[in-house]
């Protein structure tokens, strides 16, 4: 679709990487706002997002390598292969460790992270769509079916733009979580995020 946004001094700026950076920045901003409302230090919110993103990416790559161990080769380390569930596990573990270190109430932090997580995921999926990363849907004759001949993983027949479906679902979930946060306990909000996002990925 649009895997390379532009070049600077011969260095290609990839839409995939830009989307992930933007997702982290937006998540940091949203979590910072939530921390401010809760009376927690905003800089700790930014630290949580930074380290959760770093270790989330590491865990996502490790999960991908384990999932593809039968076809393992060293070039997979430098490939674009990541698995969302691995990233989620790595990110959650990082947040738990840092929350204990900062002596913050884990339930409140979990509830505060739900909406930023969903928004960040939606932004990331738009990046996957722009990159044409291969996470497409099945072939379709519907008017909005799209081919990705220039994608990272090319496909020349119209397919469902599943990445956009997931992005729309993530933003819808974020809206639901915003409403639930006014009525539910923080840990219930995070549980709602896990349930809704898990259900959305099964559709």
Distances, alpha carbon 164 to alpha carbons 48, 124, 129, 135, 175, in Å: 27, 10, 7, 11, 17
0.75 surpassed by pTM:
yes
Contact 193, 178 (CB under 8 A): no
Return the SS3 of 4.
strand
Burial of 73: CB neighbours in 10 Å, binned 0-12, 13-18, 19+: exposed
Distance CA 80, CA 63 (A): 13
Q: Provide the domain limits for residue 72.
A: 4-202
Give the pLDDT confidence of 122-157 residue by residue, as tens digits. Answer: 999 999 999 888 889 999 999 999 999 988 889 999
By residue count, the chain amounts to 203
Q: Helix 15-38 crosses helix 106-131 at what angle (to 10 degrees)?
A: 160
What is the number of domains present in the chain? 1
Which residue do the tokens 């993530």 mark?
170
Distance CA 124, CA 166 (A): 10
Give the pLDDT confidence of 33-83 residue by residue, as tens digits. Answer: 999 999 999 999 999 999 999 999 899 888 878 877 666 555 555 555 677
């Amino acid at each position: 679709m649009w895997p390379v946004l532009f070049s600077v001094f011969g260095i290609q700026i990839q839409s995939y990487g830009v989307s992930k950076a933007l997702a982290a920045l937006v998540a940091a901003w949203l979590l910072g706002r939530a921390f401010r409302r809760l009376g927690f230090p905003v800089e700790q919110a930014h630290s949580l997002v930074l380290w959760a993103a770093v270790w989330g990416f590491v865990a996502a790559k490790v999960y991908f390598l384990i999932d593809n161990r039968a076809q393992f080769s060293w070039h997979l380390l430098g490939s674009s292969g990541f698995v969302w569930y691995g990233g989620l596990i790595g990110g959650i573990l990082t947040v738990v460790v840092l929350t204990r270190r900062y002596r913050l109430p884990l339930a409140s932090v979990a509830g505060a992270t739900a909406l930023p997580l969903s928004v960040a995921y939606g932004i990331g999926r738009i990046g996957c769509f722009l990159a044409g990363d291969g996470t497409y849907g099945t072939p379709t004759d519907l008017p909005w079916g799209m081919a990705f001949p220039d994608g990272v993983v090319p496909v020349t027949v119209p397919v469902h733009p599943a990445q956009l479906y997931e992005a729309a679902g993530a933003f819808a979930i974020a809206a639901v979580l915003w409403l639930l946060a006014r009525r539910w306990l923080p840990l219930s909000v995070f549980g709602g995020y896990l349930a809704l996002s898990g259900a959305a990925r099964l559709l």
